[in-house]
Chains A and B, each alone.
Chain A
Amino acid sequence: MRAAGIALIVALVAALASLPLVLPAFGLTFWVNVVAEILIWSLLAASVNLLFGYVGLLSFGQALYFGFGMYGTAIGISMFGLGLWPALALGIVASTGMAAVAGAFAVRLTWHYFAIITVVFSLIFYFVAMSQKWLTGGDDGLSFSAPPILEAAGWMLTDRTTQYYFIFLVCLACYALLALVVASPLGLRFAAVRENEKRAQLIGINVYATRWIAFVLAGFIAGVGGALLALFGRYASASYMFYHVSGEAVVWAIVGGAGTLLGPLVGTALLIIFREVVSGLWENYLMAVGAITILVVIFAPKGLVGSLTALVRRGESEEREHLENPGIPATPATARAEAE
């Protein structure tokens, strides 16, 4: 099981790494950018998943940190004239900082209240961004031309392949970080808090601090995604901070499989590919996305990856793994019992 999992991940990384060489050979050059976009958006889904799948908090406001990453980078380049890396860093610092402040309040709440407060925070800044046009460009957004990745080497984002590898490597680093964290003692704490908040307190875990750390880390991951999207599109807009963007990321994470590392990537990939293929033929393809969402939640609440893993595992004997997550946290009964 473990060996098979590693083999699968190596194959996936190899496939993603060779895409810009393989796809053009089949006349599918356009899809290089689609995959790059999938990788970027999957970080937003991964950020939702870190909170929901690993700590048990459903955030409907992750687009806020995505938007901060986006604007940090865009403003850094267009207003301060920063280079690519400092601008990327500015975006990530802005989103992580925002998550640190918002998280300090948000993680005081759990359950539906947490979902609501995260939406409220994101709505506040959405409206702020919409009204402060001098800074954000509001709905029209902020366009800029991207500085080089490395001037000496002549690496530019305008080259499709170079841009893909830049995005691929940054995303790979994020997933590697997440993989390390969820398998670490901190990740085990996350799982403990998700499984049973009360017992977690009673073994000496500071539940509030643990949730806050997860929230900041999720803000960081979302911020990297937003910064990358700004560079990818040479554009930032307040509309990316709206709660519908957060909701879409929740859908991707759940459809792919909350509580699994690659679930968000799989969910994002499937639904974005679905959009690319179907939206040209059928304008109202979102009806199908809505239906898929509902069907997955009812019939496979662990998501595609989660259900598949469960199936494979059932096929095997009593072999087991450490730190694997069973999927869905906090049933209403336990959550309510804990609240009392």
Chain B
Amino acid sequence: MDIVIALTINGLIWGLIVALIALGLSIIFGLLDIINVAHGDFFMVGTVLGLVIAGTTGFWIALVLVPLLGFCLGLVIERLVIRPAISSASLTIVITFGLSMILQEAVRATLGPQPRRMAAPVEGTIHLFGIDYDVYRLFAALFAALAIAGFFLFLSRTTLGTWIRAVRHDRETATALGIPVTLVCAFTFALGTALALLGGVIAAPITTVDFRAGIDILPVCFMAVVIGGLGNLKGTVAAAVLLAVMEGVVSAFADPTMARISSLVVMSFVLLARPHGLFAGATR
């Protein structure tokens, strides 16, 4: 029984981090209508920058600096490669795939092909439900939860957030209302990128820092986004947490690969039967 509780908590923590990254994927999809295959690599870049910056200036500065760098990276990428190709929409997948190759190879060229580990900024373990638990994992969950809450507050309470919601809802009306749509798109892409990098720096101490990390996390994020309903932000968070907990618990009794396969099967059913997601009340 204890192992189940431990795995549930583990899943919950990982689910919150995935939710943070998947939120970035989801707003980019909802607003710019592009499937960002490089999103997993944004996360990976976050872990790498986290490792490097934390190594020189300490973790807490990295925690602030990395998402800011991510935001800038997002702005540059949006301007240079996304915006010129946005008119041939189905090809944006191909563009982001090219981007993914560049990011992975750039990291491999600088950091090397060996996976690395990063020391947790908070040492020590805590005794929970009969199991010793790394304190940092709880911190990671807290950071992710705070960031998610902050993101939703930003969307609902600020002018920029309102603009983003308006453009998501109806681009033409938003233009007519005088909202700077191009700017909002650029900002949203940068924000989505920043969320992925933030997820990276938070996760860096509890995962491996590896140029291939993006390849592994991308399908997980997509599952959350699809099962939550493409573009449905709250659904994305719920699905991410649910999936991670489910996979965590299932892997206690069965092969973890079977857990992954079963979530993919669930995802296919959702796509085919409820393309707006499990939690969709009204259609988009």
User: Do chains A and B make direct contact within the complex (CB under 8 angstroms)?
Assistant: yes
Interface residues of A (CB under 8 A from B): 52, 58, 60, 105, 108-109, 111-113, 115-117, 119-121, 123-124, 127-128, 130-131, 243-244, 247, 250-251, 254, 283-287, 289-294, 297-298, 301, 328-332, 335
Number of A-B residue pairs with CB-CB distance less than 8 Å in the complex they form: 132
Once the chains bind, are B98 and A293 in contact (CB under 8 Å)?
Answer: yes
Once the chains bind, are B261 and A124 in contact (CB under 8 Å)?
Answer: yes
| Whole-angstrom CA separation of A291 from B265 in the bound complex | 34
Q: B87 to chain A: which residues have CB within 8 Å?
A: 331-332
Segment of B4-12, B44-52, B105-113, B180-188 engaged in the interface with chain A: B105-113
Q: B255 to chain A: which residues have CB within 8 Å?
A: 131
Q: A108 to chain B: which residues have CB within 8 Å?
A: 272
Partner of A121, one of B81, B215, B268: B268
Q: B93 to chain A: which residues have CB within 8 Å?
A: 58, 60, 112, 115, 250
Partner of B97, one of A127, A130, A250, A285: A250
Once the chains bind, are A124 and B265 in contact (CB under 8 Å)?
Answer: yes
Once the chains bind, are A117 and B272 in contact (CB under 8 Å)?
Answer: yes
Q: Closest CB-CB distance, A269 to chain B, in whole Å?
A: 19
Task: Take A105-B268, A116-B271, A298-B81 as given contacts and tell me if A290 and B35 are in contact as well, using a CB distance cutoff of 8 Å.
Answer: no
Partner of B101, one of A123, A130, A290, A335: A290
Interface residues of B (CB under 8 A from A): 29, 33, 35, 37, 81, 84-85, 87-91, 93-95, 97-102, 104-106, 108-109, 215, 219, 222, 226, 230, 255, 257-258, 260-261, 264-265, 267-268, 271-272, 275
Task: Take A124-B265, A293-B95, A332-B89 as given contacts and tell me if A244 and B215 are in contact as well, using a CB distance cutoff of 8 Å.
Answer: yes
Task: Take A105-B268, A109-B271, A287-B105 as given contacts and tell me if A251 and B98 are in contact as well, using a CB distance cutoff of 8 Å.
Answer: yes
Q: A244 to chain B: which residues have CB within 8 Å?
A: 215
Q: Closest CB-CB distance, B84 to chain A, in whole Å?
A: 5
Once the chains bind, are A105 and B91 in contact (CB under 8 Å)?
Answer: no
Looking at B93, B101, B257, B265, the one whose CB has the most chain A CB atoms below 10 A away is B101
Partner of A105, one of B33, B37, B101, B272: B272
Partner of B257, one of A131, A243, A286, A292: A131
6 pairs across A/B with beta carbons < 8 Å? A109-B275, A112-B33, A117-B268, A119-B219, A290-B105, A328-B90
